């Protein structure tokens, strides 16, 4: 198993590099650019816009930008102010939100300098510096990854805890009222868009009834960070449910189909003939073998939760990576966008490897060596 896992991870390296090349090409080919998002103040002259573009290096060919992002900029000459010489500092002029106060700076706030050549590249573990926040992307991600993992893992566990038993019971009571009702609910959960469901739940439980908060991770009046999960469960109910609806629908339907296939196997009839209780027959003997097809979805489900969290976090103002990614795409903050792409690519690759490992864990007959 260890050799198989290492071999799969080594085979994933070309795939990972291909994803980064294609993503960077699409990002730089998109209309507009980060300079337009950073220079919306009316007093910015074309010369200042050009100067900022030179400082950020976005006027270079995309392959040069990609290599600088991949391997760093400390090994290459970077003319940051367009004077033909490698500078010792980068000057951020008026019109850039240098202090991250939500407003463009003026002359009274001072100028901002930081040394060039400090980007070591993603191959050396450096995500670069955000164009908009003027901070290392790694620190920005570190501030938000806990919120995304908290929401994603809780949604995944909620989907498994609810979806798997529903699928088993629906298969046991095939054709009954429980089977028909859960089938209708699964179709509704699969058909309803996440953003629409989230807005409707906010309107009903947040605005009309006032039972649950309409957004955020914790009360905004708190200082010193959010309390533990058990101290703010009311803030997690709506986003967790919205993000888990798709998982509940998929897991329940596939578990039902898998259990119906297992139901006709000889070992199931043997267990029943031994006089075992129905609960022991279905949950101990049948459920484990029925989980094998479901393992195919458990690995990629990690990536699905991250992609779904983009919408859910935006709707519920959840301070996670999904909302952060939306802001990075809107402002065309290249280092932020590529950092999110890397996280998605790595989670996808690891997810499929995890699915293969789950095959062997669930079914001892499966071996990869």
Task: Give 173-193 pLDDT, tens digit per residue.
Answer: 888 899 899 999 999 888 888
CB 307 within 8 A of CB 243: no
pLDDT for the residue numbered 203: 92
Nearest 5°: phi and psi at 91? -100, 125
Torsion of CA 198, 251, 306, 201, to 10 degrees: 10
pLDDT for 239 equals 92
- Of 40-44, 90-94, 325-329, the range with the highest mean pLDDT is 325-329
Quote the tokens at residue 12. 């994933």
Q: Examine the domain organization and report whether 184 and 146 are in the same domain.
A: yes
CB 239 within 8 A of CB 316: yes
Residue 12 lies in a domain: no
Greater confidence (279 vs 100) lies with 279
Residues 294 and 187 reside in one and the same domain:
yes
Domain identity same for 110 and 190: no
pLDDT tens, 332-367?
A: 888 888 888 888 888 888 877 777 777 766 666 666
In a domain, 75, yes or no: yes
Distance between CA atoms of residues 216 and 175, nearest Å: 42
Question: Residue 93 is part of which domain span?
Answer: 19-126
Q: What is the pLDDT of residues 54-109, one digit of tens each?
A: 767 777 778 888 888 887 765 554 555 555 555 544 444 434 444 445 444 443 33
- Rounded Cα gap, residues 310 and 365, in angstroms: 39
Q: Are 118 and 169 found together in one domain?
A: no
Label residue 83 exposed, middle or buried (CB < 10 Å: 0-12, 13-18, 19+): exposed
Q: Does one domain contain both 120 and 187?
A: no
Q: What is the CATH number of the domain that holds 312?
A: 1.10.3720.10
Of 237, 255, 246, 107, nearest to 179 by C-alpha is: 255
Mean pLDDT to the nearest integer, 282-289: 73
Q: Report yes or no on 7 lying in a domain.
A: no
Q: Are 252 and 269 in contact (CB under 8 A)?
A: no
112 and 191, same domain (yes or no) = no
Q: How far apart are the first and last CA of the chain?
A: 6
Beta-bridge partners for 113: 91
Do residues 115 and 89 lie in contact, with contact meaning Cβ atoms separated by under 8 Å? Answer: yes
Whether 154 and 84 share a structural domain: no
pLDDT at position 200 over 90:
yes
Q: Cα–Cα distances in Å, from 150 out to 59, 82, 236?
A: 39, 45, 9
Q: Is residue 13 a part of any domain in this protein?
A: no
- DSSP per-residue letters across 43-102: T--HHHHHHHHHHHTTTS-HHHHHHHHHH-STTS---SSSSSS--SSEEE-TTS-TT-SS
Helices (H) and strands (E) in the chain, counts: 14, 2
Helices 334-362 + 62-71 axis angle, to 10: 60
Nearest C-alpha neighbor of 331 from the set 54, 132, 80 = 132
The average confidence (pLDDT) of the chain is: 76
**Residues, the chain:** 369
Alpha-carbon gap, residue 132 to 69, rounded angstroms? 16
Question: 161 and 120 in one domain?
Answer: no
- Given a contact cutoff of 8 angstroms between Cβ atoms, the answer to whether 302 and 325 are in contact is no
- Which residue, 101, 126, 151, sits at the end of a domain? 126
Backbone angles phi, psi at 61, to 5 degrees: -55, 150
Q: Give the model confidence (pLDDT) of 109-154 as tens digits.
A: 333 333 345 667 788 778 888 888 888 888 888 888 888 888 888 9
Does 215 have pLDDT greater than 80? yes
Kindly state whether residues 222 and 287 are assigned to the same domain.
yes
* pTM (two decimals): 0.72
Q: Is residue 10 part of a domain?
A: no
Mean pLDDT of 198-208: 90
One domain for residues 166 and 304: yes
20: CB partners within 8 A, 6+ apart: 66, 70, 122, 338, 341, 342, 345
Structure tokens at 1: 């198993």
Please report whether residue 133 resides in a domain.
no
Angle, helices 334-362 vs 2-29, to 10°: value is 150
Tokens of 93: 């002029």
The tokens for 310 are 């983009």
Candidates 78, 91, 156; CA nearest to 117 is 78
Domains in the chain: how many in total? 2
Together in a domain, 113 and 226: no
Q: What is the pLDDT of residue 365?
A: 64
- For 219-262, write each residue's pLDDT tens digit: 877 666 777 887 788 889 999 999 889 889 988 888 888 888 88
In tens, the pLDDT along 45-56 reads: 677 777 777 767
Domain-located, residue 175:
yes
Same domain for 144 and 177, yes or no, is yes
Using CA of residue 208, residue 211, residue 213, residue 219, what is the dihedral sign?
Answer: positive
Domain assignment present for 71: yes
């Amino acid at each position: 198993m260890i050799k198989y896992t290492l071999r799969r991870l080594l085979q994933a390296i070309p795939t990972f590099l291909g994803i980064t090349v294609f993503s960077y090409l699409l990002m730089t080919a998109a209309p507009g650019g980060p300079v337009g998002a950073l220079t919306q103040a009316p007093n910015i002259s074309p010369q200042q816009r050009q100067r900022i573009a030179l400082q950020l290096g976005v006027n270079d060919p995309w392959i040069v930008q990609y290599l600088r992002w991949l391997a760093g900029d400390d090994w290459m000459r970077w003319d940051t102010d367009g004077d033909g010489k490698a500078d010792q500092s980068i000057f951020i002029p008026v019109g850039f939100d240098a202090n991250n106060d939500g407003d463009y700076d003026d002359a009274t706030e001072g100028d901002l300098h930081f040394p060039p050549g400090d980007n070591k590249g993603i191959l050396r573990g450096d995500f670069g510096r955000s164009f908009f926040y003027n901070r290392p992307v790694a620190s920005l991600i570190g501030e938000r990854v806990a919120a995304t993992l908290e929401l994603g893992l809780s949604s995944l566990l909620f989907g498994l805890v609810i979806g798997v038993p529903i699928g088993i019971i629906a298969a046991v009571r095939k054709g009954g009222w429980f089977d028909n009702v859960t089938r209708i609910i699964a179709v509704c959960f699969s058909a309803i868009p996440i953003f629409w469901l989230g807005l409707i739940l906010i309107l009903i439980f947040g605005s009309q009834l006032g039972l649950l908060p309409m957004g955020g991770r914790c009360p905004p009046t708190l200082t010193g960070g959010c309390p533990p999960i058990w101290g703010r469960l009311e803030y997690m109910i709506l986003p967790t449910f919205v993000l888990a609806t798709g998982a509940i629908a998929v897991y329940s339907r596939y578990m039902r189909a898998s259990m119906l296939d297992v139901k006709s196997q000889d070992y199931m009839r043997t267990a029943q003939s031994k006089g075992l209780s129905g609960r022991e027959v279905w949950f101990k003997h049948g459920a484990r073998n029925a989980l094998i097809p479901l393992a195919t979805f458990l690995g990629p489900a990690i990536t699905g939760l991250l992609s779904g969290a983009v919408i859910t976090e935006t709707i519920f103002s959840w301070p996670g990576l999904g909302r952060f990614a939306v802001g990075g795409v809107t402002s065309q903050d290249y280092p932020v966008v590529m950092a999110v792409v890397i996280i998605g690519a790595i989670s996808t690759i690891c997810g499929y490897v995890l699915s293969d490992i789950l095959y062997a864990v669930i079914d001892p007959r499966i071996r990869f060596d």
